[in-house]
Each structure stands twice: as C-alpha cells, then as structure tokens.
Structure 1
C-alpha cells in the first residue's frame, strides 16, 4: 500500500450513486469518495440500483460509505436501538455491494443513561453486526464526536473503552474527524498538537486509523461544537493538515473533506490539501 494520502470529498450523487458520484469526484479532483447509500436523516432503507452499485465497485476509486446520522447504539430508547441495528446492517451490506473500504458510524451518546449501560448495549448490539461482515467486506469505522452532551467518544483516548466493548474486533477501524478532535480538546493548531494527538491514537488504537475527515473548525479548541469550516479558514488553520499527512500514523490513510460550500469550494479545498501534501522543503 502506498504511503501517499488520497485526498477526496463526500460527493454529490445526484444523477446516480455511481454516475453522479464519479462525475462529481472527477469534477472536483477527488482521489477518493465518501457517499451516503441511504437518506442520512431518516431511518428509511434504500436498496439502491444494482447497476449503479456494480459500476461504483468496478470504478477503482477508493470509496467509503457514511451511515445515517440518527444511528445511536448508546440510546436508552428501544426503538432507536432497534432502528440503529437495522440501519447499520443495511449500510454494511450496501457498502459491500459498492466495494466500500469502510462504513463510517458516529460513536453515539448515552443520552440519559449511564456510560456503562451504553457500552453494554454497544457490546450486545453492535458487535454482532461486526461479526456478520463477510470476508472482504468493509470495515466498520468509529467516528469520535465533538464531545457535546453525553457523547460516548470524543478524544482519541475515549476510543479505548469503545474498542474494548467491541472486543478489539479486527474489522473495527477509526475515522478521525479533525474538527471533532479539535472541538473535543485536541489542540491541533498548537505547536506539537498534531503529533501529540496522533501519537496518543497510536497507543489507544494502533493500526486502526482508516480514514480522516479533513475539516477546519469554525469554533475554538475545546468548544465541543461540531461546526466545519473550509481548510485554512478556521481555528485549526492550513499547516496542521500538512503535519497530519507527514505523520507516520497516517501513512496511506485517505483524507475526505466535509467542508461548507458546493463543488467550487470542494475543488479549492482538495487543491489546497494536495499542495499541503507535497514534501516540506528546507529554507
């Protein structure tokens, strides 16, 4: 596997998951793509178009699927828990059909119950879904959140108990969102901040980083606010993204932007990250 970081975006699939998605990826210069395989804001399950799925799988473009936002395996509400099981099972199946390398899922919130009870639910309900993943199927990628409310996982250290609840299953990986990490208290803008976070990730979840959501932050470090900004236009700044791509923990890990704006902004953000990817030169 190459150590070079592929850089891409969460792509628009207007016109078809593959037809529209591949067109959009080419238009913005994306070297990888993230997609929704069903409506991200409802519990509805979309079986998709087998021809589009097959075309995307055969495209050669590295693809990741993002699970709907409503999923929460820490919820004390039985209906939410049951729906989360159904949606993740469906998304993993669709991910396999499109050749996805991973399915990203938010790590969720305990809401009104204890963290211990929430973690028991993750063990009882999410681990069996991971065990169902077929040979060659996508990894399940845990995305820590910004730390608001009763979120179960925000800092990279929080991944430890989560991975333990999933028995450190080999099909479980990590999707690190830079805006979330910054909001949770990892000061990526400070000297040494990027290395400190990635070194800690290597200790907590060695070899599990599979995807980076590359987003700047509209809010300050530790704000616990999940508000994405364009690369270099927020409180993280541009240079930390170059540091991220130079760190050995991120070797070969794709970067996917989820930044504000449409195609023109995606094109600008991807071009900037590609520039930052270039080796540093001495003065």
Structure 2
C-alpha cells in the first residue's frame, strides 16, 4: 500500500515558532506545518530562540520553511541578488536549527533582462548555497510560479532546465502548488489532468517532489493569476485533489494548505482533504 499523505497548513507563529506555531497547528488539525522564519515581505532576518527551536524539533511534527516572497535570483537588481542570497542562506540555517525538512523558494523572474542572463545568475548565486547544505540538512524546494510576467519556471517542463542549471544538485527538490500549476496551464480538472502533470514531473525530475501546496484557484486554467481559493470553492474543485493523493508520484508527499480565511476556514480545507485522502 502506498504511504499516506500528511495534510497540514501554513501556521501563524505569534508568540514563538513553537509556542504559537504548534498551538495554531493543533487548532487547524495540521499533521504537517509550514512557517516563516523571518518577515516574508521584507529583507530583515530574525534570529531564533534556542528553547523554541528545541521544542519545535522535539514536537515530532514535520516542518517546512517558506522563504521570503522577495527572493529572486533572476533579478537585474544587484541589491535584490545580494539580499536573496542572504535570505536563502538564513532560511536554510534556521530550517536546520528547527529540524525542518525543507525550505520552499519561489523560482523567480527575469524581470526586464534576457532569460538566459537571469538563468546564469540563478546558477552563479544559488548553486554555492546548495553546496553549503550538509547531506543531513534541509532540501531547497523549488516552487514554480503561475506564469505571470517573465517567470523563469511555471509549467512542469520548465523544471528540467532550471534543475539542469543547478547541475541536478541532490539538495534541490520540488514543491508543486496546485493553484500555480492550474494557472500556468495544467488542466487538473481534465479526467487525466493530474496524472499527466505528475507523470511528466516523474519523467523530467524523478524523486524530486518533496511537498505539495494544496490550493484551489479563483481563476480558470491558464489565467496566469496566482489567487488561491478554498478547496472545492474554486475552478479546480475537489476531485483533482483526490486524484493527486492516489497517484504514485505523490505517494507519501505532504500537502500544505495555503488558502484564505480564518483558522476555522483553514481547518475546513484540511478536514476536506483528509476526507478525500480516505475516499
């Protein structure tokens, strides 16, 4: 029998990573949790507290860190490149300190410069950071985006060139966001839509899928708009999530919900996914 998918969500950590984060995880019924370890919309880097870090490590719940939204190794702005490097190095260190399995990083945009130059920057600035991660350390999980603007990686097939740029580094994994994939043009609502996407991922990057962001979409397939919706309330619906958890490529891969609304609403989405997991 295929291993079951743990299901959880992004957790608020008011009061401390362990104090607030674990309380929030219990409130939403999370079996796995994702957290920020610094301001996700700024460059300020926060240090942890040893007692909080230890409690989170010893809690037994799998943890993932989401890096700052500002990180972009494809940017033509030298300050953004410098800050991105510092932010990812910090996130990987903090992830190791709290025992997190991985750090999720958006794959970035070329902004106003040629894609080829942006990809050279990804290699130059990101590959050394991956080399710093010890074998037992957290993976860096590349999250393709919805395809808006000059994004470097959106559809599954874009992951091949991106990972090739990083020499298929063993610490480089993948985090797929269902809303992003749908917005980028993968029609998950088609009868075999989920299977086609995951089969393609297995062909391109076998064994690299480490985390799934389970989000419905406010916009239709191919919209290139990154707007999350509650599970079953958007254009994806519920069946594709059940299909995803039944596919061998996703077997045992945790699902993390990032849908809008209160903690009670987030718990509804998590409970719905748990019911689909058991269907």
TM range (shorter): over 0.9
Shift of 1:262: 1.4
1:42-94 Cα shifts (integer Å, max 9, x gaps): 00000121211111011110000000000000001111001000000000000
1:18-40 Cα shifts (integer Å, max 9, x gaps): 11111111111100000000000
* Counterpart for residue 28 of structure 2: 28
1:1-283 equivalent positions in 2, closer than 5 A: 3-279=3-279
1-structure distance, mates of 2:89, 2:28? 31
1-structure distance, mates of 2:205, 2:3? 19
Return structure 1 stretches of 4+ with deviation > 6 angstroms: none
1-structure distance, mates of 2:134, 2:45? 20
1:71-125 Cα shifts (integer Å, max 9, x gaps): 0000011110010000000000000001000000000000011111111111111
The two structures have a TM-score, normalised by structure 2, of 0.99
Shift of 1:2: 6.9
TM-align CA RMSD:
1.0
1:163-221 Cα shifts (integer Å, max 9, x gaps): 00110011100000000000000000111100010101111111000000000000000
Q: How many residues were matched structurally?
A: 279
The two structures have a TM-score, normalised by structure 1, of 0.97
Q: Does the 8 A contact of 2:2 with 2:248 survive in 1? A: no
